[in-house]
Amino acid sequence: MTQFKRATGILHQAAYLKGKRDRPESAPLFLTTAFNVDDLDDLEALYGVKGYTYIRTRNPNRYALADLMSYLEGGEASLICGCGMAAISTALLALLGSGDRMLSDLTLYGETQELFTLVFPGLGIKVDFADFTNPEAVKAALRPDTKVLYTETISNPMITVVDIEAVAAIAHGNGAKLVVDNTFTTSSVIKPLELGADVSINSLTKFANGHSDAICGSLTTSQAIWTKANALQQLLGTTVDPFTCWLVTRGIRTMDLRVQKAMDNAARLAKALEAHPAVSRVNHPSLESHPQHALAKRIFKHGFGAMLSFVMPDDRKGINAFLRKLEFAHYAMTLGGYRTTLSHPVTSSHHGVPEEERRKMGITFGLMRVSVGIEDPDDLIADFTQALEVFK
């Protein structure tokens, strides 16, 4: 509980103003670009204790959120970034430089893959890809100069599950670090650091915030890696404003409740969709048909995640009609909110990925990704069922 208490303490400590102390029930928000100092001696003293001077370098709301994430993910230190992609790039650029090599999972969020294939080569970073659901394929793809392995706990959008513990052992046996994107599961389901990962990434925009009104990201790691990432962040400017941190801290208060409800709903919806004649495949780890169902049962302690995907006919008119017919669920290119949303990977998250690469991942035109919310499950199932009638 140390980090959790410390996060609360930071907000209370920052409320000291000219000797007056406030202890509000709701965390205070510090909408200021800088804090006043008395003189040069006061400024140097603040530097010495890492006090608050300029918001980009330090601010109470960001530090409180960082300590909350360290507590939740079970790490030594966390860095809060402007979005999930900022957290990914900051973490990896702190671990890699020109001439280095990394090994990435084949199935990833589209823009993460684009970062690796379009940006990293220009920085002199070589990237190889392998199927991380197959540990033997990971071993075979390693090179002597591979410094980092990168994967998602549950892949976007194919919902494959990676054995983090096995991949971590492979990475460390090669002298490499393992970086894991934990966004789809959150610490409510799994803590990658406890299974051997060196860095756990979260897009806090998603389930942590949970209200679709703030963009934020985090990386949680060891103090040594944090020190490198923090120095880089100050120069790249991948920090985030106090109000966003305040919103995400508010969202985290109900994260476990929301995620558990959404996971229960997802399991019921997945089962209903699997039985529907218009659906040829459903990807959700709760289903016995899922290729990593046994692994998911072993490593996920409280549920199978609230993300699923399913395959409809490759019929653009039919898909459009299905989306328009939905009443509770809505088409929106985001996830992790309290409402159920759908996304079409081919035209959104993986739009920039070449078709040949998409098909290798199993991403067809009929694939739809669903972020399940906290609605009444019977209403949700009825909504999808009536909308799928367009394919009769």
Q: Which residues are part of the catalytic machinery?
A: 56, 109, 181, 206
In Å, how far are 243, 258, 349, 363, 364 from 345, measured between CA atoms?
A: 31, 24, 5, 7, 9
**Residue entry with tokens 């759908």:** 342
In Å, how far are 156, 164, 174, 175, 382 from 135, measured between CA atoms?
A: 19, 10, 14, 16, 40
Element (H, E) at 311: strand 307-311
Query: Closest Cα to residue 215, out of 245, 254, 187?
Result: 245
Note whether 273 and 337 are within 8 A (CB): no
Could you count the other beta carbons within 10 Å of the beta carbon of residue 360?
Answer: 14
In Å, how far are 1, 62, 255, 336, 337 from 207, measured between CA atoms?
A: 21, 18, 7, 4, 6
Instruction: At 193, list the tokens.
Output: 């650091």
Q: Is the dihedral of CA 280, 135, 370, 382 positive or negative?
A: positive
Query: Residue 139 corresponds to which amino acid?
Result: K
User: On the CB side of 66, how many CA atoms lie within 13 Å of its CA?
Assistant: 25
Note whether 167 and 148 are within 8 A (CB): no
CA angle 374, 376, 377 (to 5 degrees): 95
Instruction: At 91, list the tokens.
Output: 């973490």
Instruction: At 181, list the tokens.
Output: 């994107």
Contacts of 28 (CB under 8 A, 6+ apart): 11, 14, 15, 22, 60
In angstroms and rounded to an integer, the radius of gyration of the C-alpha atoms of the chain is 22
